[in-house]
Amino acid sequence: MTILTGKAETVGRRRPEGGGLLRKIWDHRADYGYVLPAIAVMLIVIAYPIYYTIELSFFATPPGLQLRDKVFVGLNNYTAILTSPVFWTVTKNTLIWTVASTFLSFVLGFACALALHRDFLGRGILRAILIIPWVISAVAASYIWKWIYHSDFGIIGAVLVALGWTDRPPNFIDSVSTVLPSLIVVNIWREFPFAMIMMMAGLQTVPDQLLRAAKVDGANAWQRFWHVTFPHLRNVSTVTILLLAVANFNSFIIPWIMTGGGPSNASHIWITHIYELAFGRQRWGVASAYSVLLFVILMSLGYFYVRALSGNEQKDGAE
Amino acid sequence: MTSHSLGSAVLCGAVSTALSVSLISTSALAAPVDLSKWSPEYVRSIAGTQDFDTAADCAKVTPLDYKGRLTFWYQGVFEGDPDMLREYYKDFFATFRKTYPNIKLEDQALTYNDLLDKFRTALLGNAAPMAIRLQILGGTEFAAKGYLRPLKPEDLGYSTSDFWPGAMKAVTWEGVTYGVPTNNETMAFIWNADIFKRAGLDPEKAPATWDDVVKYSKQIHDKLGIAGYGLVARKNAGNTPYRFMPQLWAYGGGVFDEASANPTYKKILLNSPQSKAALQASYDMYVRDKSVPVSALTNQQADNQPLFLAGQVAMMVSHPSDYTVMLDLQKKTTGADTAKAQTVIDNMRYGLIPAGPDGKRAVVFGGSNIHILKPEYVEGGKVDEPAAKALGCMWASPEWSLKLAYAGSNPGNLNGFKTKWMKERLSSIKFLDVTTSMLPYGIPFPALPQSPEIMNIIVPDMLQNALTGAMTIDQAAEDAAKKVKNLTEGGL
């Protein structure tokens, strides 16, 4: 059996002169060959849709016309979005949703990870229980929470009324002021186990001897956490926060199933709004323009994510 | 040329006469359904008066030994439908496969709220099914876009006069017919007589007007602490326009002039004083009196059904099938809940949908239609037309258009009212009379490609904006009217 590598194949064949880029590519041509099918698939399923979405964002698609009969409107879709009051409502909702969900999921997940890092009886069971929200279907969870929150016959409302704390069940998801915080609670409930798992993995990497040395030197628990544990978790924290932020920017299931973006757009976030524009209202052009803007934001987050990962690799290499 | 004997000539004559009579078919020979006489008594008088041979009728459209393949999507049974309907759907597809054993049928059921989205997406990728059964609201949109091939009742072996004129209007775009109605329905007003009695109202009398609904709802809530009227105001759900539009029309309002005899759909009426009065009635119930479920903004009718069965909602607008749904839901109850549910079922009453201040009564003329796609939008680029017509003929037949609408709707083919199954239905489905009585009050949604967006998004948005206090009544109505104007003028 022969194992081929780029360099092995160069024997007896003509290779480009000089030491430039072409030569490097030639030397690694077999490696490129291995990744070529994956690149081809990515071009078809990622690059083309991105190109088409950008193209579509310059066209209007009235409901009485087929998409192929779209009308070129230049930057009108972008202008329409930026001058629409709904855009600012939805953007505000998206920012609140993303920042609150990301931050609180991370804090709660981190706190749970720290608690579970200690050795105590039942730790394994507790860890398994805490992971449940993350592994169950988001669709099922949304329907369950919809009934928990039900403004007339929800469990929370029934308990509060039974305890005599309120005359009427609280209005969680049928009010413009409480709907978004209520959905954020559900999202945190679903996401914090992810942060917990990530941080638990990170905690395994903190050198025990450093913590012991700090203790010998008289550092209290907070000082050991702040000066030893936390610096070691900086990279995993960055990655976790970025992954959570990207996931939250792209959230769809919970708000769509529980409220459909209502009432009065109070729980519409970008993705649900884009979905409604495209599939409910067939404004493919405007929806595409929204998607392009969202793509730019997510790519920026992606850049920081890759940078955080590269930073880790460089650091690991240096060590 | 060969010579014939007298005997063979007589025989040939007899055979050809018999053949001609069978080709004309029983439905053509019998008196057509007279819509001018429409009343519960008339419906009873024609039920069970005619037999139909569906297979024989459809064989004239597509031979029973035809070999082909058909992809078909349809708005199927969903969580709010009774179990009986599930059985009829199963029977239909089994019968079709038995009747046309050589047609390979690939059918897919989708819920009301998902069907439009999925169909639109499939069309963009030229991956639509060959035939589709769409809700009445969707036909014009796809016809206007040129996705559907012309299809009229005559193509399936029926006559246009076999169907409701309002239903035919909903499948017609610029004078061309693009579909055949399978079922048509109008809803009715349902109330719990026991709750009415306990609240000091006449238990056997439905509210006569929408203003009465507001008053009754408040009285029930104030006296018993439960919801009076089962308001539905969720966005992107067909349930909302089906319940709000009758109210809007009764007050004399509308999106356009769709409630008039000859609508032009030119003038926008959503911001008219009459439309605002209808919106005010909903506002009074939800905000001022708090006499309807708070969850109305996120609920669909399927969420109201258990509340009604639990005796927590006193009135609602719904199908005749809700009685059967209540019986199905009761089977799932245990202990004391079963007896409680039985009390509600025993006290269930149906009446005509309330009228407006001027006595105007209206209801949405709902239903579904069968359409055949143009080949270029279908997966594989081919439409097996005979196979699609075979299925269309069977579904729109007097027999199956009735059976598949047995509990939840009414036959789209008017001859369905003459079948023995209609007679059986009249005795087995309580309150059917009331919903068939509402049919002449039915108003179809505007036959415009923009209708799905208007009904599923703009109208519910208007309701939500007013009910949440995000806008005043005036602002919500003006905002909705502006959106409709923008939409019809081709704005972004």
Query: In chain B, which residue's Cα lies nearest the Cα of A284?
Result: B492
Interval B87-98: pLDDT, tens: 999 999 999 999
Does the pLDDT of residue B185 top 90, yes or no? no
Which residue in B293, B450, B470 is closest to A264 by CB distance?
A: B470
Closest by CA to B344, choosing from B304, B297, B301, is B304
**Quick one: B33-186+365-443 is in which CATH superfamily?**
Periplasmic binding protein-like II (3.40.190.10)
Q: How many CB pairs under 8 A join A and B?
A: 99
Give residue-wise pLDDT tens across range B36-81: 888 888 989 999 999 999 999 999 999 999 999 999 999 887 766 7
Residue A142 is encoded by which pair of tokens? 């949304």
- CATH code (residue A93): 1.10.3720.10
User: A263 to chain B: which residues are within 8 Å by CB?
Assistant: 297-298, 464, 467-468, 470
The domain ranges of chain B are 33-186+365-443, 188-362+450-488
CA distance B492 to A63: 10
Q: Is A66 a domain residue?
A: no
CA of B238 to nearest chain A CA: how many angstroms apart?
12
Please give the tally of structural domains in chain A. 2
For residue A308, is pLDDT > 60?
Answer: yes
Query: Is A139 in the same domain as A23?
Result: no
**Which is more confidently placed, A256 or B430?**
A256
Mark whether A188 and A254 lie in a shared domain.
Answer: yes
A169 within some domain: yes
| pLDDT at res. B341 | 84
Poorest-pLDDT segment among A3-17, A31-45, A49-63, A266-280: A3-17
SS3 of chain B: CCCCCHHHHHHHHHHHHHHHHHHHHHHHHCCCCCHHHCCHHHHHHHCCCCCCCHHHHHHCCCCCCCCEEEEEEEECCCCCCCHHHHHHHHHHHHHHHHHCCCEEEEEEEECHHHHHHHHHHHHHCCCECCEEEEECCCHHHHHHCCCECCECHHHHCCCHHHECHHHHHCCEECCEEECEEEEEECCEEEEEHHHHHHCCCCCCCCCCEHHHHHHHHHHHHHHHCCEEECCCCCCCCCHHHHHHHHHHHHCCCCCCCCCCCCCCCCCCCCCCHHHHHHHHHHHHHHHHCCCCCHHHHCCCHHHHHHHHHCCCEEEEEECCHHHHHHHHHHHCCCCHHHHHHHHHHHCEEEECCCECCCCCCCEECEEEEEEEECHHHEHHHCCCHHHHHHHHHHHCCHHHHHHCCCCCCCECEHHHHHCHHHHHHHHHCCCHHHHHHHHHHEECCCCCCCHHHHHHHHHHHHHHHHHCCCCCHHHHHHHHHHHHHHHHCCCC
Residue A61 counted as domain residue: no
- Residue of A174, A182, A252 to mutate when probing chain B, most B C-beta within 10 A: A174
Q: What is the pLDDT of residues B362-373, one digit of tens each?
A: 999 888 999 999
Tell me if A264 and B461 make a contact (CB, 8 A cut-off): yes
Q: Is residue A60 part of a domain?
A: no
A117 and A239 in a single domain? The answer is yes
Give the one of A152, A281, A285 whose C-beta lies nearest to B457's C-beta.
A281
Q: Determine, for residues B450 and A282 on separate chains, whether the beta-carbon distance falls below 8 Å.
A: no
Residue B360 has pLDDT above 70, yes or no: yes
Phi, psi of B190 (to 5 degrees): -115, 140
Q: Are residues A177 and A307 in the same domain?
A: yes
Residues A227, A138 share a domain: yes
Contact B236 A280 (CB under 8 A): yes
B146 has a chain A CB within 8 A of its CB: yes
Q: Do B492 and A80 touch (CB under 8 A)?
A: yes
Which residues 371-390 of B have a C-beta within 8 angstroms of A? Answer: none
Domain range for residue A22?
A: 1-41
| Pair (A91, A195) in one structural domain | yes
Q: CB–CB of B236 and A260 under 8 A?
A: yes
Q: Which CATH superfamily is domain B188-362+450-488 in?
A: Periplasmic binding protein-like II (3.40.190.10)
Nearest to B367 by CA among B323, B410, B303, B427: B410
Q: Let me know if residue A108 belongs to a domain.
A: yes
A177 and A234 both lie in a single domain: yes
Question: Is A110 part of a structural domain of the chain?
Answer: yes
Residues A169 and A28 in one domain: no
The ipTM estimated for the assembled molecules is 0.76
Same domain, A26 and A93: no
Chain B residues within 8 A of A281 when measuring between CB atoms: 453, 457
Residues A280 and A173 in one domain: yes
In a shared domain, residues A31 and A103: no
Q: What is the mean pLDDT of residues B310-314?
A: 91
Q: Is B472 on the interface with A (CB under 8 A)?
A: no
For residues A34 and A180, state if they share a domain.
no
Which positions in chain A touch B121 (Cβ < 8 Å)? 279
Inter-chain contact B298–A260, Cβ cutoff 8 Å? yes
User: Given B237, B295, B471, which is nearest A151 (Cβ)?
Assistant: B295
User: For all residues of chain A together, what is the average pLDDT?
Assistant: 87
Q: CA A168 to CA A161: how far, in whole Å?
A: 7
The predicted-structure confidence for B147-171, as pLDDT tens digits, reads as follows 999 999 999 999 999 999 888 988 9
| Percentage of chain A modeled with pLDDT above 90 | 49
Let me know the angle formed at the C-alpha of B351 by B346 and B353, rounded to the nearest 5 degrees: 140
Q: Is residue A63 situated within a structural domain?
A: no
| Residue A69 in domain | no
